[in-house]
Amino acid sequence: MKVAVTGASGLIGSALVPALRTSGHDVVRLVRRDVRAPDEVRWDPAGGTVDLAGLAGTDAVVHLAGAGVGDHRWTDSYKETILRSRVDGTRTIVRAMTQLDPAPGVLLSGSAVGYYGDRGEEVLLEGSAKGDGFLSDVVQAWEAETLPASEAGIRTVLLRTGLVMARGGGAFGRLLPILRAGVGGPIGDGRMWWPWITLLDEVRAIEFLLDADVAGPVNLGSPSPARNGDVTRAVGRALGRPTVVPVPGFALRVVLGEFADDVTSSQRMVPEVLSEAGFDFVHADLDNAARWLVEQ
């Protein structure tokens, strides 16, 4: 299968590309700079252009590009960057897909657990309602841009990814050095639900969905979501470090600004669609996942 990947240099994309190639897929990477390698195709998501010749014969697109929500404080300007990078990028790649003849048969489009907002103890399945807040609104607008692909007969999957367990970035990339130093602990009271998934299972799930008879939203999170305090303690055990110093919410707000509200959100997300489609998690158990995380 010829698979085009946007966001190939990001946390997930940089692990996905070699995994796809190991499985025998022909992978092309969309880049915003000048092309430097035979497997690269230039695109300009903000300008709305893609080198269509480079995408000729593509069977599937995995669209992961978007500005990192935790990379900067949420100024009004950066919030606009977060929104525009997702809306403009998705609109651009979807338009390109529908212009190809034949069109790719599959679009796996990045999305996020932020769709659900802060939901306390509620179990969140793919059919659960949209939540409130900035990220929820961003995800709604982001997902809406995939509609023309569905209308064109392209099987479209919305990858509602949770908190990815990886050392190279994301929430866990920041958490690990603190816990390794023995000076970290639960956030606030630690009772908010964290929808974790290891990077290994994230990549395996995306590859699984290339062929699975699935369309629409798919929750990418472990079947065993856990409270923040339990996640923190599991990682601490794997590191052999104490996790007794809680991180107060006000301190997070000082460091992260408005983004702190989303870090402390509770999202008890369950991957119902993925599990029913027959996907088998390597890391369904939190302690096993934590050991894998620290041993990478």
- Which amino acid is located at 41 in the chain? V
In this structure, what token pair is assigned to residue 92? 């651009």
pLDDT of residue 40: 97
CATH of the domain at 149: 3.40.50.720
Question: How many domains are there within the chain?
Answer: 1
Omega within 30 of 0 (cis) for the link into 102:
yes
Distance CA 201, CA 209 (A): 12
For residue 248, what pLDDT is reported? 73
pLDDT score, position 176? 86
Alpha-carbon gap, residue 212 to 103, rounded angstroms: 18
DSSP codes, the chain: -EEEEESTTSTTHHHHHHHHHHTT-EEEEEESS---STTEEEEETTTTEE-HHHHTT--EEEE-----TTSS---HHHHHHHHHHHHHHHHHHHHHHHHSSSPPSEEEEEEEGGGG---TT-EE-TTSPP--SHHHHHHHHHHHTTHHHHHTT-EEEEEEE-EEE-TTSHHHHHHHHHHHTT----BTTS-SEE-EEEHHHHHHHHHHHTTSS--EEEEES-SS-EEHHHHHHHHHHHHT------B-HHHHHHHHTTHHHHHT---EE--HHHHHTT---S--SHHHHHHHHHH-
Which residue range is the domain that position 219 belongs to?
2-295
Note the pLDDT of residue 257: 66
Mean pLDDT by 10 residues, the chain (296 residues): 97 97 98 96 96 97 92 87 97 98 98 96 98 96 98 98 90 84 85 96 98 98 96 94 79 65 88 98 97 93
Task: Report the distance separating Cα 83 and Cα 277, nearest Å.
Answer: 31
